[in-house]
Structure 1
Amino acid sequence: MKHFTLKELCRSNVAEVRRIDNKPNQQQIDSLTALVDNVLDPLRERFKRPIIINSGFRSKDLNGAVGGAYNSQHMKGEAADIYAGTKEGNRELFELIRKHLPFDQLINENDFSWIHVSYRADGKNNRGEMLKL
């Protein structure tokens, strides 16, 4: 992890306000590390500007509190919602990931309000699925 920290990937205002434990276990930490090493750090190198993590790891309780999907990859440490500062920047992030990096899911959320990207830690079963929500 060169450009991102575990603390930043686990930070949540909702967890702080509601006092929800949002600490990952070792398997989830390993998955977060794989996400950063294979997608987020290489993306940051290509983008050459800061990238904000809106939501990274979510405990089961936190995922429920924010209305996440029951099977969200955030709970496994395999996903992050990222933001470049503008919708145009988010479009650029989306295209950089799509063209140059491995991913399981790449989702344009709410007309590029943010980007969801996931990566399966084993690296073997990444679907390369692109969606627009």
Structure 2
Amino acid sequence: MKHFTMGELCASTTADAHNIKNTPPLQEAGNLKALAENVLDPLREWFGKPIYVNSGYRSPQLNRMVGGAPTSQHMKGEAADITTGSKAENKKLFDYIKSNLPFDQVIDEKDYSWVHVSYKRDGSNRKQVLKL
């Protein structure tokens, strides 16, 4: 992991505010590492500017609290919601991921308010492109 730390992939103001432990188990930590090495770090290398993680790993308790899907890949450490702080720049990230990187899902969330990207380290990536 070159440009992202495990701490930022697990950080949550909601978890902090509600005293929820959001430390990933070993399997999930390995998945986060694979996500960073295969998608997030290459994306950052290409982009050349900071990319921020809004939401990475979520413990089941945290996922319920934030209204995440019961089968959310965030709970598996396979997903991150990322942003540059700009919808136009987020669209660039989305388009680059879609065309150049391995991924399971890439989702345009709320007209590029952020980009959800997931990656399965077992290689069974579906390359789903979605808009929510």
TMscore range, shorter length: over 0.9
> After the TM superposition, which segments of 4 or more aligned residues of structure 1 sit over 3 Å from their partners?
none
* TM-score when normalising by structure 1: 0.98
Cα distance in 2 between the residues matched to 1:49 and 1:27: 30
Where do residues 25-40 of structure 1 align in structure 2 (5 Å cutoff)? 25-40=25-40
**Could you give the per-residue CA deviations for residues 41-73 of structure 1, whole angstroms, max 9, x where no partner exists?**
000000111000000000000000000000000
SS in 2 for 1:68: coil
> What is the letter of the counterpart of residue 84 of structure 1?
T
Where do residues 122-133 of structure 1 align in structure 2 (5 Å cutoff)? 122-123=122-123, 125-133=124-132
Cα distance in 1 between the residues matched to 2:100 and 2:129: 14
SS in 2 for 1:120: coil
Root-mean-square deviation over aligned CA pairs: 0.4
SS in 2 for 1:45: helix
* TM-score when normalising by structure 2: 0.99
Where do residues 1-133 of structure 1 align in structure 2 (5 Å cutoff)? 1-123=1-123, 125-133=124-132
**Could you give the per-residue CA deviations for residues 9-30 of structure 1, whole angstroms, max 9, x where no partner exists?**
0000000000011010110010
Structure 2: give runs of 5+ residues left out of the alignment. Answer: none
> What is the letter of the counterpart of residue 112 of structure 1?
Y
Structure 1: give runs of 5+ residues left out of the alignment. Answer: none
> What is the letter of the counterpart of residue 20 of structure 1?
I
Number of residue pairs aligned between Structure 1 and Structure 2: 132
- Percent identical across equivalent pairs? 58
